[in-house]
Structure 1
């Protein structure tokens, strides 16, 4: 099979098998929209706006500042920020200077950030003027090669009156004091010229952004992603997406200009939020709502619902736990979410019941995509048509992308259709490799028919209709008395219980069977249940070897900052008990 002839009768109507004209520097997305739509709003934050022309002007000034600081092509510059309007300005400014942006999780502790700054060899870091974030930055830069810290305050990005009142009342977050020698972002921008340096970019080989993997096995690794990994991915995703955008209309690609408002609910330091929200908005010349903290409000997620209603957001990229939070919000009916046209789910498998419940309550369609940090992120996606979308699958490879199902023990051997194996992907979105980790690169790629495939670590198969189905993570598979138990199988069934809001399943050691299944459940608000009640449900709905032998109720289930349920945390807790 070539990259262009994925065999299925359900390939989405109108979607090309190829993606044209994506080999250009990533910052051209901003320059193009600023030229075509200079007065269109790009970022929306707390009622304040920045146009494309304004964002480009600031990005050009950031690039000018970096060049004056001695930053050269290939140098690393770190961004340690939540979803603030500064983020796209800084990101594109770094790229315009020819440097590599190192996106850092803003909730990292000082030791975690220190490792990332050291490992990436970052020379400058942009951080938030915030009591916790700035304090962590000050500690983290010690012993690293960071020469300059730039502190970003939100006051100048708020509506004038709100910023004035907030400053008087002390409600705008800020550090107690700024260390001598550290620079303020507003001063940096004011003192620089909107003239980026002349830098030659090779978009297919020059690293644009370094994203660190979650570190589920050992310390996080830096994935080197080149410019075309992102430009291809965003253009392929927009080619793929066909939505009805007006009552009675036909499905079509997302319109450019001021037609859409994207909800920036996923963090932009992560590839899904970066590509699926910020870069999509930038490419379309659309608005994006900056959501620094999705859980804000009482109860949590209330401010997100308010933003959807206020700004009439049309599109959202999210992980399953966010769809769960929407669907189970106690005040959901108070908010008008009818502006939503479509949503992408990714980052973790989407339980079918969660998909149906969200769609029933909002009227939006969810189509599930699949990818990884190392693939910028999308590899596959479900058709965006209800007739050909297959809930529970991850659809087909994107145009010019190929996936194979390989033997777990011998990745040079392809599995027959319908049989499980490790999913491997090949395409323009696959990363250059891991930064300074030749050992990891050697074990993460395999060459087949002259093409370089990335081994995802996910188990799945291709069904009879050509849809790719993820069964589970290779490392999460549970071996019960010789039978393979995939946590997702058990979780999907438990999600159908009317009292269950969230569930995570792991394997725990057992003398006789090797491992047994344990389930952690968070119940919906106001619900109560007993272990025996859940056990009886499992006896009715799943095979004996799959049934959880232990049930534990939790008020919260550990999740990453991008909303992935952290089974490894639960496993570690079990092993340490």
Structure 2
């Protein structure tokens, strides 16, 4: 593909329009950092640290164990963990074995996790030694191809005194019991050699991660992302970002070799969190603070503010609700969070006032970006200079990426500047496709001027100055605190309740989380159930961010002449009420 220079007079000064040198496997990120900065700290967790050399050694041992247990190139291995320090070691270890990481949300119910394990054909799963997470994993592997479970306990990754006190006081999470045939993480690391198998990776063709998403249809499916999808995105980010590192200094590219500390508040099972913190920290030889639960503390988010003050992160990737939580925290003035130099916001539009308040408090600059799971994730970003960014827009395509606005009916006709259409993306970050879903691939890919474009499902336009703005969504996806919720996913679970005849799920505006989930339910004749009982059913059967905040029981739900539920009519009703 020959990329055309993005037409705008406001392209960031000094930033190239294209990037090269991204044709390498993701494992090189860790191996290069361990070679250049072996004694530099990579992970920080509860004040305990692990160097790049230590993380590399453990990842090599994990790769050796996996190969010894039958994992071959292309096999899928699942990670069912929060942001704990074992995560990067396992992630790179899986890739060094030539396998594919299947990153799973650790708060998923057994049924939700079972779908991903079954569909991906994962053979091994890493899970946390935890009374809830481990129990979910044990239940979820039933009727799947999973042959091996590896249990990760955080005790050995804590400072020695904290580990001793934690054990004595019972504060270290631990499952009620362990199945006798399951392995302990520390034991497999101790008994495996630091010699990964000899594997040849084709970075352009070989899948590195499989991340589940509803795409544009809402049916969960695995997006196959190659090594290059990520390495390109990282190279483009390093080229595009500019930070003022020294007081009164000039904005420059991110510094390497331990200058930066990344705050890992976004979950690493999510494409945004893993690429812009875990991988970018490895790329730049930076420290990475592991934050399993950013909402921890009383009031919520107090613990993460304490971490910021203590470990002084310089870079944070977050969704708008986290910026809101910081700026509105009742104790914010008691904390020094001025170490932050740059922040990346994505997942949902960032309110201009929130941006202003956060930047005033920290002195940092917020880069507002746009991306999707299928694009690993970055597609666009506002310019890295306050003088030329346009708050409310998503800026320009990152170097090496092309964006077109296509007609919403066929996706084959390019719209004039200023007119709305569906945002289509072409670039090295666009996924191979959906796992075992040629039908879905046919829906989302278009050949245009000899290149392959991905239809995002988002509606937007390009203004006269070249800035791209999202104006609507073609799909019914709901964004709760930056995470995608697909109405059909929630509806399918509600339909399993014996009293539910018909249901419809929509997203409604919410000041705290951007959008909230509301469910409308019509009961079967003669059936009886309370809203509280339905709420409890949702709690037991779906992850927290998916659960309806409101449920309304109705005599009728609007449908079309062919019986299709009219979600738009329900949203219009709510808009009229408010």
Q: TM-score range by the shorter chain?
A: 0.7 to 0.9
CA distance in 2, matches of 1:521, 1:251: 36
Residue of structure 2 in register with 1:554 after alignment: none
Q: Is the 8 A contact 2:128 2:152 kept in 1?
A: yes
Residue of structure 1 in register with 2:428 after alignment: 428
Residue of structure 2 in register with 1:452 after alignment: 452
SS at structure 2 position matched to 1:126: strand
Q: Does 1:325 align with 2:334?
A: no
Shift of residue 569, structure 1, vs aligned partner: 4.6
Within a 5 Å distance, the mapping from 1:237-256 to structure 2 comes to 237-256=237-256
Shift of residue 311, structure 1, vs aligned partner: 0.6
Residue of structure 1 in register with 2:522 after alignment: none
CA distance in 2, matches of 1:236, 1:520: 33
Q: Is the 8 A contact 1:261 1:314 kept in 2?
A: yes
CA distance in 2, matches of 1:315, 1:359: 13
Q: Is the 8 A contact 1:3 1:399 kept in 2?
A: no
Residue of structure 1 in register with 2:302 after alignment: 302
CA distance in 1, matches of 2:247, 2:363: 13
CA distance in 1, matches of 2:215, 2:395: 27
1:490-548 deviation per Cα after TM superposition (whole angstroms, max 9, x unaligned): x9xxxxxxxxxxxx9x9xxxxxxxxxx99654589xxxxxxxxxxxxxxxxxxxxxxxx
CA distance in 1, matches of 2:312, 2:162: 22
Within a 5 Å distance, the mapping from 1:1-20 to structure 2 comes to 3-20=3-20
Residue of structure 2 in register with 1:549 after alignment: none
CA distance in 1, matches of 2:552, 2:55: 45
1:38-92 deviation per Cα after TM superposition (whole angstroms, max 9, x unaligned): 0000000001000000000000000000000010000000000000100000000
Q: Is the 8 A contact 1:319 1:564 kept in 2?
A: no
Residue of structure 2 in register with 1:199 after alignment: 199
Change (3 A) 1:468 1:565: farther
Residue of structure 1 in register with 2:271 after alignment: 271
1:130-177 deviation per Cα after TM superposition (whole angstroms, max 9, x unaligned): 000000000000110000000000000000110011011111000011
CA distance in 2, matches of 1:65, 1:343: 37
Residue of structure 1 in register with 2:362 after alignment: 362
**Unaligned regions of 5+ residues in structure 2, if any?**
488-505, 514-537, 558-578
Change (3 A) 1:216 1:108: farther
Within a 5 Å distance, the mapping from 1:436-475 to structure 2 comes to 436-475=436-475
TM-score between the two structures when normalised by the length of structure 2: 0.84
1:206-251 deviation per Cα after TM superposition (whole angstroms, max 9, x unaligned): 0001011157844311000000000111111111000100101100
SS at structure 2 position matched to 1:428: coil
Q: Is the 8 A contact 2:104 2:269 kept in 1?
A: yes
Residue of structure 2 in register with 1:37 after alignment: 37
Shift of residue 322, structure 1, vs aligned partner: 0.6
Residue of structure 1 in register with 2:135 after alignment: 135
CA distance in 1, matches of 2:464, 2:50: 49
CA distance in 2, matches of 1:332, 1:104: 32
SS at structure 1 position matched to 2:243: coil
CA distance in 2, matches of 1:21, 1:564: 41
Q: Is the 8 A contact 2:99 2:208 kept in 1?
A: yes
Q: Is the 8 A contact 1:457 1:474 kept in 2?
A: yes
Change (3 A) 1:574 1:468: farther
Q: Does 1:167 align with 2:167?
A: yes
**Unaligned regions of 5+ residues in structure 1, if any?**
478-486, 492-503, 507-516, 525-557
Residue of structure 1 in register with 2:28 after alignment: 28
Residue of structure 2 in register with 1:542 after alignment: none
Shift of residue 361, structure 1, vs aligned partner: 2.1
TM-score between the two structures when normalised by the length of structure 1: 0.84
Change (3 A) 1:6 1:354: same
CA distance in 2, matches of 1:3, 1:144: 44
Residue of structure 1 in register with 2:495 after alignment: none
Residue of structure 2 in register with 1:384 after alignment: 384
Q: Is the 8 A contact 1:95 1:101 kept in 2?
A: yes
Q: Is the 8 A contact 1:77 1:124 kept in 2?
A: yes
Q: Is the 8 A contact 1:4 1:400 kept in 2?
A: no
- Please give the root-mean-square deviation of Cα atoms over the aligned residues, in Å: 2.6
CA distance in 2, matches of 1:329, 1:281: 27
Residue of structure 1 in register with 2:314 after alignment: 314
Change (3 A) 1:198 1:172: same
Within a 5 Å distance, the mapping from 1:114-153 to structure 2 comes to 114-153=114-153
CA distance in 1, matches of 2:171, 2:150: 22
Residue of structure 1 in register with 2:229 after alignment: 229
SS at structure 2 position matched to 1:337: coil
CA distance in 2, matches of 1:305, 1:103: 27
CA distance in 2, matches of 1:572, 1:448: 43
Residue of structure 2 in register with 1:292 after alignment: 292
CA distance in 2, matches of 1:112, 1:476: 20
Shift of residue 375, structure 1, vs aligned partner: 0.3
Shift of residue 17, structure 1, vs aligned partner: 1.3
CA distance in 2, matches of 1:164, 1:83: 22
The 10-residue stretch of structure 1 (215-224 or 121-130) with the greater mean CA deviation from structure 2:
215-224
Residue of structure 1 in register with 2:408 after alignment: 408
